[in-house]
């Protein structure tokens, strides 16, 4: 069995050390348990780096080809599930390089790290991995928004109460509610696209922090790895984790939107409301109450927002006080990034499933409408007759109070009683008490009329088509 001293010397940094590493310190320091997620992008990076080393004259053609062959064999072992992680492997970078040298020999394998530090290597891998995840995340979000707009088109007839302060406010279309959340998600997709140029900046070639001394063609590396630009300051490139923080911040806002959307549907699906019925596929039951059907999918969407926010806040606190440039604290960026990307994608796909499969109950939505919600329409009626709005607001309020006092609807107030409130009322006042008419009058851009819904759908689809 290897001695602990030999164990230390075989590490990438082991030549400086003559003492031994505490086994607990090795475990505490190691990140292979989660950085193994980066194996594919790390190997892609190494293939490109070997090409740059060849062009810089560090490798000859045969050495470069042998490195490429070996790296592909390492990748195949990962893909086939037979890659053996050694107890010596601190991280994915150590593991891949160790296995490469075992396959092709350390004479050539040992040249791969020339001029490259784990500092610029890990920063490059993280950006590559995150860019791949963002591509999937955008696609899932666009699918969800398309489901929402399709439902909005098909279910435009359904009227429901709109709420402020969780109190009935004015009648709207179910489609208008649905599209309000689609617009929030559209903004999220647009913001996610805006992150990409800041993530797609190449750190490779920055070395430990002072750059690369071998004249590597970094523009070539950027092209090979699909980066949009090359980092212009080597110190900044190895310590920058703003791109991770920004992704976590974006994810916090997205899941905040999901939380509000889920809260509404939890309320609307309750027995007291009954506006929607959540599919059995996205519900669970009670262990003790057979009649229960719980909207756990929505409750989990609401709960995940706290988890994502916590990860974002935690990394912000990790980063806030560390000195320039790379410090081991920064290893704490990976787990929240990995978990956040997975959680966000799961949330999007669950939300899509919920929306695609839920049933709406238009009769219960309409039954929840009440004529007091048309009080603003009553005020608008008098405005159209030339009465100042501040005065009509007061008159309409008195009509509501009269109806409440007599326990009748606004439409049941007699014409004579309306004349006691204002001599501007005429017998056509009763045309106000029509929910469909109320919604259709709000036909401005962004309103809940049929025309407004159609315009919103068209706008959202066009905006999705413009997203990179």
The torsion region of residue 120 among left (phi > 0), alpha (psi -120 to 50) and beta comes to alpha
Q: Helix (H, G, I), strand (E, B), or coil: what is residue 300?
A: helix
**CA of residue 437 relative to chain centroid, distance:** 38
Q: Using an 8 Å Cβ cutoff, are 34 and 333 in contact? A: no
Q: Helix (H, G, I), strand (E, B), or coil: what is residue 163?
A: strand
Q: Residue 374 carries which DSSP code?
A: G
Nearest alpha carbon to residue 94 among 175, 11, 155, 187? 11
Give CA–CA dist 183/429, Å, rounded: 36
Q: Token pair for residue 161? A: 């109460």
Give CA–CA dist 35/127, Å, rounded: 13
Radius of gyration of the chain (CA): 31
**Cβ neighbours, 10 Å, residue 237:** 26
The torsion region of residue 386 among left (phi > 0), alpha (psi -120 to 50) and beta comes to left
Q: Token pair for residue 29? A: 């320091």
Q: Determine whether 101 is exposed, middle or buried from the number of CB atoms within 10 Å of its CB (0-12, 13-18, 19+).
A: middle
**Cβ neighbours, 10 Å, residue 340:** 25
b (16+ CB within 10 A) / e for 141-178 = bbebbebbbebbeeebebbbbbeeeeebebbbbbbbbb
**CA of residue 350 relative to chain centroid, distance:** 13
Task: Provide the annotated active-site residues.
Answer: 165, 286
242-268 and 334-357 are packed helices; what angle lies between their axes, rounded to 10 degrees? 30
**CA of residue 72 relative to chain centroid, distance:** 33
Give CA–CA dist 227/27, Å, rounded: 34
**CA of residue 293 relative to chain centroid, distance:** 28
Alpha-helical regions (H) of 200-227: 218-225
Nearest alpha carbon to residue 89 among 21, 36, 137, 153? 36
């Amino acid at each position: 069995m290897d001695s602990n001293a030999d164990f230390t010397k075989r590490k990438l940094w082991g030549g400086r050390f003559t003492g031994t590493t505490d086994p607990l310190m090795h475990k505490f320091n190691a990140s292979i348990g989660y950085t193994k997620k980066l194996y594919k992008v790390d190997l892609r990076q190494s293939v490109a780096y070997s090409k740059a080393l060849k062009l810089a004259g560090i490798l000859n053609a045969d050495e470069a080809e042998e490195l490429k062959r070996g790296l592909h064999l390492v990748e195949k072992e990962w893909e086939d599930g037979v890659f053996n992680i050694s107890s010596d492997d601190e991280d994915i970078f150590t593991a891949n390089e160790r296995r490469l040298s075992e396959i092709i020999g350390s004479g050539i394998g040992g040249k791969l790290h020339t001029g490259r530090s784990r500092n610029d290597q890990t920063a490059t891998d993280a950006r590559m991995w995150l860019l791949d995840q963002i591509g999937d995340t955008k696609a899932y979000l666009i699918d969800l928004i398309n489901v929402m707009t399709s439902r909005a088109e098909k279910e435009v007839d359904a009227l429901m109460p709109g709420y402020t302060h969780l109190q009935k406010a004015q009648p709207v279309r179910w489609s208008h509610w649905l599209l309000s959340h689609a617009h929030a998600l559209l903004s999220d997709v647009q913001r996610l696209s805006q992150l990409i140029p800041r993530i797609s900046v190449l750190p490779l070639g920055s070395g430990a922090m002072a750059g690369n001394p071998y004249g590597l063609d970094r523009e070539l590396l950027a092209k090979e790895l699909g980066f949009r630009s090359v980092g212009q300051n080597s110190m900044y490139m190895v310590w920058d984790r703003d791109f991770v923080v920004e992704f976590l911040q974006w994810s916090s806002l997205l899941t905040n939107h999901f939380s509000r959307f889920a809260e509404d549907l939890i309320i609307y699906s309750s027995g007291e409301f009954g506006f929607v019925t959540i599919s059995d596929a996205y519900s669970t039951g009670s262990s003790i109450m057979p009649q229960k059907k719980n909207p756990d999918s929505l409750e989990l969407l609401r709960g995940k927002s706290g988890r994502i926010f916590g990860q974002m806040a935690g990394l912000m606190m990790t980063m806030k006080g560390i000195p320039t440039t790379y410090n081991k604290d920064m290893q704490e960026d990976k787990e929240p990034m990995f978990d956040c990307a997975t959680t966000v994608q799961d949330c999007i796909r669950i939300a899509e499933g919920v929306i695609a499969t839920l049933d709406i109950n238009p009769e219960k939505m309409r039954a929840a409408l009440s004529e007091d919600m048309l009080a603003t329409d009553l005020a608008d009626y008098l405005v159209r007759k030339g009465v100042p709005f501040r005065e009509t607001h007061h008159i309409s309020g008195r009509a509501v109070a009269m109806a409440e006092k007599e326990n009748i609807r606004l439409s049941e107030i007699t014409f004579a009683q309306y004349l006691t409130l204002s001599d501007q009322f005429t017998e056509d006042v009763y045309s106000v008490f029509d929910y469909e008419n109320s919604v259709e009058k709000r036909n401005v851009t962004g309103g809940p009329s049929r025309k407004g819904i159609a315009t919103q759908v068209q706008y959202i689809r066009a905006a999705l088509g413009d997203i990179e």
